[in-house]
Amino acid sequence: MTTLGHFIDGRPILNGQHSQAVFNPATGTSEKQVLLATKATVEDAILAAQQAYPEWRNTPPIKRARIMYKFKTLLEENADKICRLIGEEHGKIAHDAMGELQRGIENVEYACGVPELLKGEHSKNVGPNIDSWSEFQPLGVVAGITPFNFPVMVPLWMFPMAIATGNTFVLKPSERDPSSTLFIAELLHQAGLPKGVLNVVNGGKEAVDTLLHDQRVKAVSFVGSTPIAEYIYQTATANGKRCQALGGAKNHAIVMPDADMESTVNQLLGAAFGSSGERCMALSVVVAVGDEAADKLVSGLSQAMQPLKVGTYSDNQNDFGPVITKQHQEKVIGYINSAEQDGAHVVVDGRQVKVEGYEDGYFVGATLIDRVSKEMQSYQEEIFGPVLQVLRVASMEEAMTLINEHEYGNGTCIFTRDGEAARYFSDHIEVGMVGINVPLPVPVAYHSFGGWKRSLFGDLHAYGPDSVRFYTKRKTITQRWPSAGVREGVSFSMPTMK
């Protein structure tokens, strides 16, 4: 059995009193175990980052950027291995894993522009012979806590920009699929990153709490469920840290009567079932306006779902793979059971799906549930599986009220040919990321990602321009060099330009 550990001060570390099995969700078997970091191990990682910070902080941004350029090349050269590691431990189909990696690489590309992104502002002669300018300086040691569903992409949302802006980093990835994260940390050091600048520790709550309470850690970025996001945010800020904590989602798509139904159906398939629905931007609810539109939509979806293939990561003919654990498989099936018991109609049932040769895998087939109501548990909570629910409403206003009243506000979209309706929707919907005939409105790397309401705790979104601000602090400097021989009187008033 392969044992995985940590990556501290530029080298792999096998250290931990306890271990946890790492499963292949397609087979239900474990050939790896990961050591869980103790408080002392996490403190070693923080110390390594703290010791590396002074020299790294003073490294010119262009030199930091050159390391990121080399890192990007190494990610591309090792793409097949990275995607295989994702598939073996997460279950994501190879083509989907490649898409995850590419989205991560785009964030590295954005970080390569850090010399431009760190430019401050300058004003000459704000007063007689007085100049003023701003600088964006790094925070110090910062940390990231990332989820299982994107073991490569989400870490790449965080540490490339944090490091490029001059910080040192401690990453705590999910212990369910740690191999790809550890491997990309090694690639970054192959690219020339000094030891101690990036450290990776695997662990559970003890590791997380150590990062949240240690005063050497100046900021924490998190992606995961809303209850944990709220805990992370409250604990980090109570300990004086800057924090952004991205939580859960319940993403709705409004389908208007004038929508191109064939195109809508095709787009909903990928948005709902890609990556087994284990995306915080997965479309899990369709709100159909009018019974006629709903009937057409349900009929189209049920037919289009028949050929969908669920299976193992290595076969690119498969559309999606298993869910992450046996426990999560049971949880997803429990939500389907709950909806049915509450009176909803299971149109396409994925509860009994079996994959030949992989009977012990954690598979759930694509599931379509019609006539769901907002009172149902399956609607109120995040399922995080390949389940698409349909609610029927009489008007666009009713659909928007449904979305605006939900506790989550991560992503949403509308399918329509009506520009006026689309404009009204985008102006008045209380959601952070909005699509117009785009089912997964995930911002590109040079914009920022984040939801509203209980989908985000903190003021700044992930990656893009907000990440530069999150990982730096502004310093404004006002300077004057008096002319020789000039004497000025004492002033006790606030300086102005009056």
Angle between helices 226-238 and 205-213 (to 10 degrees): 30
Average pLDDT, the chain: 96
143-152 pLDDT, tens digit each: 999 999 999 9
Which 3 state secondary structure label does DSSP give 194? Answer: coil
Q: How far apart are CA 348 and CA 22, in angstroms?
A: 32
Instruction: Tell me the two tokens of residue 246.
Output: 């991205």
pLDDT at 485: 62
pLDDT at 486: 63
Instruction: Tell me the two tokens of residue 422.
Output: 């689309």
Query: Quick check: 482 pLDDT over 90?
Result: no
Which 3 state secondary structure label does DSSP give 127? Answer: strand
Cβ–Cβ < 8 Å for 272, 384: no
Nearest in space to 306 (alpha carbons), one of 356, 368, 362: 368
pLDDT at 493: 73
pLDDT at 434: 97
Which 3 state secondary structure label does DSSP give 126? Answer: strand
Q: How far apart are CA 396 and CA 422, in angstroms?
A: 10
**pLDDT band per the 50, 70, 90 thresholds, residue 497:** low
**pLDDT band per the 50, 70, 90 thresholds, residue 34:** very high
Number of Cβ atoms within 10 Å of the Cβ of 407: 13
Query: Quick check: 401 pLDDT over 70?
Result: yes
Is the sign of the CA dihedral 5, 8, 13, 15 positive or negative? negative
Q: Is 280 a catalytic residue?
A: yes
273-308 pLDDT, tens digit each: 999 999 999 999 999 999 999 999 999 999 999 999
Q: How far apart are CA 312 and CA 28, in angstroms?
A: 12
pLDDT at 496: 74
Task: Say how many CA atoms lie within 13 Å of 357 toward its Cβ.
Answer: 3
**pLDDT band per the 50, 70, 90 thresholds, residue 221:** very high
Nearest in space to 197 (alpha carbons), one of 234, 162, 235: 162
pLDDT (average), residues 318-330:
97
Query: Quick check: 129 pLDDT over 90?
Result: no
pLDDT (average), residues 379-408:
97
pLDDT (average), residues 314-329:
96
Residues in the chain: 498
Cβ–Cβ < 8 Å for 359, 324: no
Question: Which strands sit side by side in the sheet containing 283-289, from one edge to the other?
Answer: 345-348, 367-370, 387-393, 283-289, 251-255, 411-415, 433-436
53-71 pLDDT, tens digit each: 999 999 999 999 999 999 9
Nearest in space to 399 (alpha carbons), one of 384, 413, 420, 388: 413
| Residues of the chain above pLDDT 90, percent | 94
**pLDDT band per the 50, 70, 90 thresholds, residue 487:** low
Which of 83, 112, 243, 280 is labelled catalytic?
A: 280
pLDDT at 367: 98
Domains and CATH numbers, the chain: 2-247+455-477 (3.40.605.10), 251-436 (3.40.309.10)
Query: Quick check: 52 pLDDT over 70?
Result: yes
pLDDT (average), residues 154-164:
98
Query: Quick check: 391 pLDDT over 90?
Result: yes
| Residues of the chain above pLDDT 70, percent | 98
**pLDDT band per the 50, 70, 90 thresholds, residue 127:** confident
Query: Quick check: 483 pLDDT over 90?
Result: no
Instruction: Tell me the two tokens of residue 345.
Output: 């109609």
Cβ–Cβ < 8 Å for 99, 56: no
